[in-house]
Structure 1
Amino acid sequence: MTPRTNPSRAVRGLLWLAGVLSLGLGIVGMVLPGLPTTVFVLIAAACFARASPRLHQWLLNHRWFGPMVQDWEAHHDMTRRAKTWAIGSMVLMVSLSSWTLRDRPWVMAAVLAAGAVGVWVVGWRIPTRRSDQA
């Protein structure tokens, strides 16, 4: 199946909505422990790339989000330093969240499981950029 270069108006609308929601979750993730920012911003960029070139360009040029989107679109990988920071912050925030949820074992287990998935994705599923590719 070949990718469609010009999605229908309905598909563009759904992609725009998904992009706006993802960007909103990414912004909330900047202040809410346990909610990732980068993943949602990258999803928003992917949606905007198909739905709204103007919003995609805005995101690429954004002061805070632009560098991470540009880096991902250029390399489709993460530097070892970025991975270390991402995994370290996930472990820290999941640990703090789990500690505060210790009286609710099912919720704590869900937080720990989500954290384990996040660490697995960043650590083993996303390629690590070799230092000579930077």
Structure 2
Amino acid sequence: MAGLVTLVWRLLALGALALGFIGVVVPGLPTVPFLLLAAWCGGRGWPAMERWLLAHPRYGDTIRHWREHRAIPRKAKWAASAMMVLSATSVLVFPAPVAVRVILPAFLLCVAIWVWRRPDV
């Protein structure tokens, strides 16, 4: 049973890592949240992957800052906010159900408030 649990954690870590790498090249798909998830899953079933992510030259510091302080870099806050504004605007400009036009901008506003309340790196 322990082997199956480890396998599930590793598959989740690999899936999150794959989505994170896709996010590097696909605009609008976030990279760091998936890498945070991959490190978290790796810590439960694949310590070598967790260590690799924490030592990564580009993303390791961000993962460590999040773990230690729940901190988000200011540049990432601005990028996330810009993407949320773009998403909310596109929902208002293009055809969408009324519920989506109301709920999505309100949800994104809540997320933006949460993001900006996190400490800066």
TM-score normalized by structure 2? 0.73
Question: Which residue pairs with 2:111 in the alignment?
Answer: 121
Deviation per residue, 1:58-95 (Å, 9 max, x gap):
01111222121111111123255542332123333x26
Structure 1 unmatched runs, 5+: 1-6
Deviation per residue, 1:28-85 (Å, 9 max, x gap):
1122233221211111010001111111000111122212111111112325554233
1:119 and 1:24 mapped to 2: Cα distance?
A: 28
Question: Which residue pairs with 1:3 in the alignment?
Answer: none
**Equivalences, count:** 117
Aligned residues: percent identity?
32
In structure 2, the CA distance between the partners of 1:91 and 1:51, relative to structure 1 (3 Å rule), is same
1:30 and 1:125 mapped to 2: Cα distance?
A: 20
The DSSP-based 3-state class of the residue aligned with 1:78 is coil
Shifted more, 27-36 versus 81-90: the winner is 81-90
Question: Which residue pairs with 2:12 in the alignment?
Answer: 18
In structure 2, the CA distance between the partners of 1:71 and 1:28, relative to structure 1 (3 Å rule), is same
Deviation per residue, 1:78-113 (Å, 9 max, x gap):
255542332123333x268x38x93x636xx49x83
**Aligned partner letter, 1:33:** P
Structure 2 unmatched runs, 5+: none
Q: Does 1:31 find its partner at 2:21? A: no
Question: Which residue pairs with 1:105 in the alignment?
Answer: 96
Report the aligned-residue RMSD: 3.1
2:10 and 2:52 mapped to 1: Cα distance?
A: 14
